[in-house]
Structure 1
Amino acid sequence: MVLQNPQQQEPVSQRKTPVPTVARRKFAKPPVKVACLACRASRTRCDGKETCSSCASKGRKCSYLPSKRGGPRKKKVVLPAPTTSAQQNVSWSPVLVPASRFDESAGMFNQIDPLSMPGAGLRHLDFPHDVQSMFEDLFVPVDGVQSHAHIEPPPAAVPKQSMVRVYGSEQDILNAYYDFIHPYFPILPPRATPPYADRPLDRVGCSPDSLSEEPSLVYQPCSPLSLAISAILALVRHPNETDPSSPNAVLLRRSYAQKFARLAVAGIEADGELLDSSTDPSQALMNEKPSINRAPFHPRTPVELESILALLVLCVYEYAQRGNLLKMRYRAGQALVMAMNMSLHALGEEHDEFAEARRRAWWMTYYCVLQGSIASATSPTIIINDPRFVTPYPRFASDPEGWSILVQAQQVLVSATQFTIDLNKCFKSRSNVQYVCERMQQLDAWASSVMAQANTPPNVQRSVYCEDPTEALTAHSMRTISRIKLSSAHIKTHRFRAFSDIPLFIKKHCDLTAANSDCMEPDNSSKDIKQNDINRLSCSCHNIEQPSRAPSGEHSGSPSSSSSSSCSGSLTSQYSFFGTGFPFSSQHSAKVCLRAALIISRMFQSLPFPRPTCHAVKDGINGQAVRPESHLDPGTLDPLTQLPRTMPSFACCAMQSSYAMLMLFYKTRVAKQLSPDSENENNNASSDRLVEELQHGLERVLAAMKNYSMAFEALDGMRDEIEGAFQTAFPQP
């Protein structure tokens, strides 16, 4: 490697001298390995100094965040005395010492707060700063010290050829769809043919030297839908891949998935142009419909629906893999226009062989349109109860009400998201208080009603489960996802009332923007305000597991209805215009958030793992055969051999759950440490049990996010956000 020549390392080691002693070949001045945060945000060149020249000239704070993409880091400079900026760099460490006197509580909560932001933690693979990362790895430190070496293989090791999951026929892709995608995203009707063993192609991959080249396909799928499905399947590790987490394997999967996605978009456009060009303008009002001369991907799904279904798959791909919320909504909007042009929203009670496919195509389009609004925290682009939407729901044989519950759960969640938007507007305008409070009560009742339906077992005969195991498994997943969404809606509805005693939560209230920023204290005093209010965190969550003694006062919202009202301090004046309008006390809302967060964590754990039918191949990690055991028992699988779940369009619910559990943990810890020594031991034991349950809940959510991020790179950020906050709250010995 040319950079390892000692004669060419001297310019790198002498980069801080005013005049270089050795002429550089490629760059007049090499780019620094890590730029400061301010220069990254403004996309300006950074000189890499402790306080860079750009920040020094503009008088702004200069701080550095280690890159999560790996590679060499900025060499530490030993200073004669510690400075403020040097101490700030230490705070980025994912493992922090727990605060015993709460002197570091502001930073502690700043780490939790971003978990609830819309799109929190998503990695944006399309963001231009990835270009800088290409140059970071070109300059190796002279001392050879590197951190996070898991991104870069050892120099002495010979990289092995990586493999990618691709298939050799449309039928094999369809069979893999039912193994990996259908249980979480049922856009197609049930299987039309019996399942068989998963058959990804072997010997497909490329060497590390050719990663920058366009991937070559042994077989190119014919349909836009099979291409979009292939983009998702390519992100799942190949069964014979020996090192799926290596940089070569990750980049290989990314390049193949992106090529399949681009081909899918091109196929959608080609189908659209074909339909448009085959229509004679003079015969446009005739009932004849042009057709696409291609064999259907699924025998019970019309070919003209394949472009719509491909857009739905790409909608999730843009969110979970590329981290692009704008494209996610755009793909869903395209699918909506195409579906309504085909009148899929106004179907009757037909019972032909294509009826189920059309119904699933419409309601999954409706689902994805609302999901785009939920993920981006924006108002929905459609009326959720539009009277024109009369198409009957699809049907699971093992759960006739499953689709209805899923759609209702999505409607509740998008309405709860709209509630947070309205609440933010209410803070800014100091108006519509009565509407917001009434809406809060309506949403709570609506979410509770649908949750009761979701918790009611389906009334069907047990023999139905044996007729189509894949559909029964999918019906179970839809119930599980519905509970996740309904619990997330409960958190969105109650979190302000539960946690509004923390100033930073008001400034960044989950989906909300900076709430009532005009009334916030000046920046130089915000630290003191946080410190004073953190010392009173026990107000709204003290004895959180004990029910309220006065049922009538629990919903009164009066100043005496909860202990939080007597200790809200100076912050109460910021939202005192609500008066006594809140229909729930802060203690009640905290209990709702606690129950909802724990339900989300348990439901994520109960989601099935992909188990390719009759699949038994040598696992590349430990050489053991993977047996087709129960889909629903995560304990039977080693975390290293688990295949990743797919289609995590509802990953933001994990962030909501983590946020609530972390806030409740710190409130409980403060309440316990501030309680008198003579406090009843039973209350202390109850607090210990609550903390233990919160820890287990966070571990379940973190395990789910780690599983998703095995395939979807954009979720790496979510995983790291939760893991960093978890390790801060529960440092490992």
Structure 2
Amino acid sequence: MADTFHHEGALAATAPRPVRKKFAKPPVKVACLPCRASRTRCGGQEPCCSNCLAKGRKCGYLPSKRGGPRKKKQKLSPSPSPDEELPHDGPYVDVSSADLEESPGMFTQIDVLSLPGAGLRHLDFPQVASLFQGYFTGDDSTSHVHMGPISSPLSTTQCLVRTYGSEPEILNAYYDFIHCYFPILPPRASPQCQDRPLQFNISSSNSSPEPLMMYKPRSPLSMAISAILALIPHPRDPEPSSPASVLQRRTYAHAFAQLANSIIEEECDLELSSTDPGQALSTARPSVDRERLHPRTPEDLETVLALLILSVYEYSQRGNMLKMRYRAGQALALALDKSLHCSVEDNGFSEARRRAWWMTYYCVIQGSIVSTTPPTIVINDPQFSTPYPRFAADAEGWSILMQAQQVLVSATSFIVDLNKSLYSQSGMHYMYERMQQLDSWTTSVLAQMDMLPIISPESDFGDGRETVTAQSIRSISRIKLSSAQIKTHRLRAFSDIPIFIKRHCDLTAADPSNPPREVKNSPSHQGNGMNSVGCSCSNLDQFQRASSAEYMTPSDSSTSSDIHPSIPQYPQFPFATGFPYSPQHSAKICLRAALTISSMFEGLPYPQPLTEARQQEHELNRPLPRTMPSFACCLMQSSYAMFMIFYKARVSKQISPDSESEIAAESTDQLVKELRNGLERIILAVSNYSHAFEALDGMRDEIQGAYQTAFPHASI
């Protein structure tokens, strides 16, 4: 038996190998794209090959880069090009389109694996083509890629993303779209230029983890700026609100942000850390060697400024407050390392260093405000001795902005501590004192804001006065101070009864065990993805069931004559009777502050780039989105206060005696009209932001859903 097996093994070893079947005809030089995607041999006929003609599909070709003598491969390629002749150890089988039609069984067994949920992604042509995208573009990061868009009959939609072709164009766009809301750089060093984003069409179905960039910015700051600019719809995009356009903008913006982060990591790294760690601790950080983006800003500050922009990007676009605080923390560490917090030098770079430090301070505190966490720095630390920057049009603008930020973070800490004291029923006397101090502090800064701005001597270069920027910063400061007023008085006025379904900032969310009532959307809102937006207004039933006597606590009886007829009194915590302000007084402060916020948001300037006349006419009907909405929580504070006063005014009208019903009705109607106008301004403002920043969609939907509940027959 052993001999038999040995004999059969010898025959198998000496048996001739099957001869590879030769091509009936040589392969074509250029295969069509559908055949390449399906790995089917192509006939090469133009304009449509036989395979595509038989299957009734569209046929398209790309120019071939093959040609010249073949080179010997040094190693086997893991993924050979599908239109090259592949070496085989076994016989080559030429499968024609006719063979596929006659014996479809083998392929129908494979097709089910391509269906969604079967473990394989559905492979269509654009996805396969994206795998080879890197073969058709260069990797040079410092030069333009002169390549036109790939037109394919299978790409149904062409999208445009706002990208730029040089560093000066990116800097010019920063001043057009970002600077007046987030002035991290000194004033313009040169006159405003025409805004010229690249006209590069991107196939909506040709998405890739690494999008094609016609120009790659050189510094982390220009990359971070590009991440924000990519979110702003391109002026020539025919459908900027389409899912395809939104997805492309999101993809490009995140690609720029990741590139900026990677360069920041490289510049913060030491070469000895990987080669000789024992010597790394005694080695100074190498200097940054690249051309400055702004002539009056040292290149070593660009890393800090890039992190500040990325902090706002993580919040307003990605909705990631943890990363927002992390980026701001990185910027703080670098700023302290560069001694920006105690810079007293006065030279050509002093203004840049001052803005870099105080905007870092601003972003660190902003992270604490939106996340409702204690500040990671002492807000009035005496070591922070760097003078404030200056606007030529408003010498006190920066001081007011920083004071407003300090007041707002203090009000945020106050409302957190107040809730803890109310829950534990202890320490209330101290909280009453803090409430009075906060109210006085806010009033003092507001009085300072009402004074006319102090104008510095006009600068001698570019837009040195920064008039629009100074006015915008004053409006943002007033928004923050008004939000601080609402936080200070909100619990006293409204008992923090939840209105919104989800948690936003420090506002109480609705009880998830109490499902919200769904609101039927009007046709004008069905295109915004609001298929089922609700409002947790069932929590207000206690006001409708209550009698007028239940709206007054014993400590408020002496102030009952000061009650506005359209602002009723509200149920309070039974043990919280020593507040320094009555519920009616706090409600009036919240009302004025909420209406002020809505007016200030409406008055914020829109971006005004220099564009062609045709484009300007188009933008009149569709204003460009404002940017850098790091203070969007103020929108939620304002809308919450207005909704609460609206429902309480409605209850007040219902419980008024008959003798006062006519007066109460007239007063309530006027108040409701003001509240409705204020809420519409808020919705328009947050909708404008959400055209570019997707994370604000949640805020917009919450406010809009509550608005539709309050005003079911209204439309915006």
TM above 0.5, one fold?
yes
Cross-structure match for 2:673: 692
Structure 1 residues 215 and 583, CA, compared in 2 at 3 Å: closer, same or farther? same
Alpha-carbon separation, structure 2, partners of 1:436 and 1:243: 52
Cross-structure match for 1:66: none
1:478: how far off?
0.6
Q: 2:575 aligns with which of 568, 574, 577?
A: 577
Instruction: State which drifts further: 409-418 or 450-459.
Output: 450-459
Alpha-carbon separation, structure 2, partners of 1:595 and 1:465: 41
Structure 1 residues 249 and 514, CA, compared in 2 at 3 Å: closer, same or farther? closer
Q: 2:235 aligns with which of 230, 239, 263?
A: 239
Cross-structure match for 1:314: 310
Structure 2 counterparts to residues 16-55 of structure 1, below 5 A: 26=112
Cross-structure match for 1:36: none
Q: 2:224 aligns with which of 211, 223, 228?
A: 228
Cross-structure match for 1:681: 662
Structure 1 residues 265 and 322, CA, compared in 2 at 3 Å: closer, same or farther? same
Query: Is 1:471 the equivalent of 2:466?
Result: yes
Cross-structure match for 1:108: none
8 Å contact from structure 2 (residues 504, 633) kept in 1: no
The one-letter code of the counterpart of 1:535 is: R
1:536: how far off?
3.3
Query: Is 1:180 the equivalent of 2:180?
Result: no
Alpha-carbon separation, structure 2, partners of 1:578 and 1:344: 45
Alpha-carbon separation, structure 1, partners of 2:272 and 2:508: 43
Alpha-carbon separation, structure 2, partners of 1:235 and 1:256: 8
Cross-structure match for 2:592: 595
Q: 2:693 aligns with which of 685, 690, 712?
A: 712
SS at 1:679 equivalent: helix
Alpha-carbon separation, structure 2, partners of 1:601 and 1:724: 18
Q: 1:701 aligns with which of 677, 682, 694?
A: 682
The one-letter code of the counterpart of 2:427 is: N
Cross-structure match for 2:709: 728
Structure 2 counterparts to residues 401-420 of structure 1, below 5 A: 401-420=396-415
1:194: how far off?
1.7
Query: Is 1:167 the equivalent of 2:148?
Result: no
8 Å contact from structure 1 (residues 180, 610) kept in 2: yes
Cross-structure match for 2:390: 395
SS at 1:678 equivalent: helix
8 Å contact from structure 1 (residues 421, 512) kept in 2: no
Cross-structure match for 1:442: 437
8 Å contact from structure 2 (residues 499, 539) kept in 1: no
Q: Deviations over 1:61-85 (max 9, x none)?
A: xxxxxxxxxxxxxxxxxxxxxxxxx
1:535: how far off?
3.0
The one-letter code of the counterpart of 1:216 is: L
Alpha-carbon separation, structure 2, partners of 1:538 and 1:167: 63
1:439: how far off?
0.5
Query: Is 1:347 the equivalent of 2:349?
Result: no
Cross-structure match for 1:152: none
SS at 2:269 equivalent: helix
- Unaligned stretches of 5+ residues in structure 2: 1-33, 35-107, 124-152, 515-535
Alpha-carbon separation, structure 2, partners of 1:224 and 1:449: 40
Query: Is 1:561 the equivalent of 2:563?
Result: no
1:460: how far off?
2.6
Question: Please, what TM-score do these two structures have when normalized by structure 1?
Answer: 0.69
Q: Deviations over 1:594-616 (max 9, x none)?
A: 0000000000001000011x322
SS at 1:645 equivalent: coil
The one-letter code of the counterpart of 1:615 is: T
Structure 2 counterparts to residues 331-370 of structure 1, below 5 A: 331-348=327-344, 350-370=345-365
Alpha-carbon separation, structure 1, partners of 2:427 and 2:227: 46
1:346: how far off?
1.0
Structure 2 counterparts to residues 656-675 of structure 1, below 5 A: 656-675=637-656
1:727: how far off?
1.4
Q: Percent identical across equivalent pairs? A: 57
Cross-structure match for 2:604: 607
Structure 1 residues 283 and 161, CA, compared in 2 at 3 Å: closer, same or farther? closer
Alpha-carbon separation, structure 2, partners of 1:709 and 1:507: 18
Alpha-carbon separation, structure 2, partners of 1:469 and 1:537: 61
1:208: how far off?
2.2
Cross-structure match for 2:545: 535
8 Å contact from structure 1 (residues 541, 667) kept in 2: no
Alpha-carbon separation, structure 2, partners of 1:427 and 1:25: 63
SS at 1:210 equivalent: coil
The one-letter code of the counterpart of 2:698 is: G
Alpha-carbon separation, structure 1, partners of 2:204 and 2:498: 49
The one-letter code of the counterpart of 1:676 is: P
1:511: how far off?
1.3
Alpha-carbon separation, structure 2, partners of 1:697 and 1:169: 42
8 Å contact from structure 1 (residues 496, 509) kept in 2: no
The one-letter code of the counterpart of 1:178 is: Y
8 Å contact from structure 2 (residues 459, 465) kept in 1: no
1:677: how far off?
3.4
SS at 1:206 equivalent: strand
Q: Deviations over 1:201-257 (max 9, x none)?
A: 11x232122124520111100100000000000001111111111111111101100
Q: Deviations over 1:247-301 (max 9, x none)?
A: 1111110110010000000010111115886999879789x87411111111111
Alpha-carbon separation, structure 2, partners of 1:507 and 1:239: 34
8 Å contact from structure 2 (residues 500, 509) kept in 1: no
Cross-structure match for 2:446: 451
8 Å contact from structure 1 (residues 345, 388) kept in 2: yes
8 Å contact from structure 1 (residues 600, 653) kept in 2: yes
Alpha-carbon separation, structure 2, partners of 1:247 and 1:462: 49
Structure 1 residues 690 and 568, CA, compared in 2 at 3 Å: closer, same or farther? closer
Alpha-carbon separation, structure 1, partners of 2:227 and 2:211: 13
SS at 2:659 equivalent: coil
Cross-structure match for 1:52: none
SS at 1:168 equivalent: coil
Structure 1 residues 436 and 256, CA, compared in 2 at 3 Å: closer, same or farther? same
The one-letter code of the counterpart of 1:309 is: L
Q: Deviations over 1:338-395 (max 9, x none)?
A: 11111111111x2201100111000000000000011111111111111111110000
1:465: how far off?
12
Cross-structure match for 1:105: none
Q: Deviations over 1:139-183 (max 9, x none)?
A: xxxxxxxxxxxxxxxxx9984311111011111100110000000
The one-letter code of the counterpart of 2:541 is: Q
Instruction: Return the structure number with greater relative CO, CA threshold 8 A, min gap 6.
Output: 1
8 Å contact from structure 1 (residues 275, 290) kept in 2: no
Structure 1 residues 379 and 26, CA, compared in 2 at 3 Å: closer, same or farther? farther
8 Å contact from structure 1 (residues 541, 587) kept in 2: no
Alpha-carbon separation, structure 1, partners of 2:707 and 2:426: 38
The one-letter code of the counterpart of 1:599 is: T
Q: 1:199 aligns with which of 193, 196, 199?
A: 196
1:191: how far off?
1.1
Q: Deviations over 1:83-114 (max 9, x none)?
A: xxxxxxxxxxxxxxxxxxxxxxxxxxxxxxxx
8 Å contact from structure 1 (residues 198, 615) kept in 2: yes
Alpha-carbon separation, structure 1, partners of 2:504 and 2:640: 11
Structure 1 residues 281 and 191, CA, compared in 2 at 3 Å: closer, same or farther? farther
1:429: how far off?
2.0
Alpha-carbon separation, structure 2, partners of 1:529 and 1:164: 44
Alpha-carbon separation, structure 2, partners of 1:210 and 1:450: 53
1:406: how far off?
0.1
Q: Deviations over 1:387-418 (max 9, x none)?
A: 11111000001100000000000000000000
Query: Is 1:374 the equivalent of 2:384?
Result: no
SS at 2:158 equivalent: coil
Superposed CA RMSD: 4.1
Structure 1 residues 311 and 461, CA, compared in 2 at 3 Å: closer, same or farther? closer
Alpha-carbon separation, structure 1, partners of 2:168 and 2:502: 52
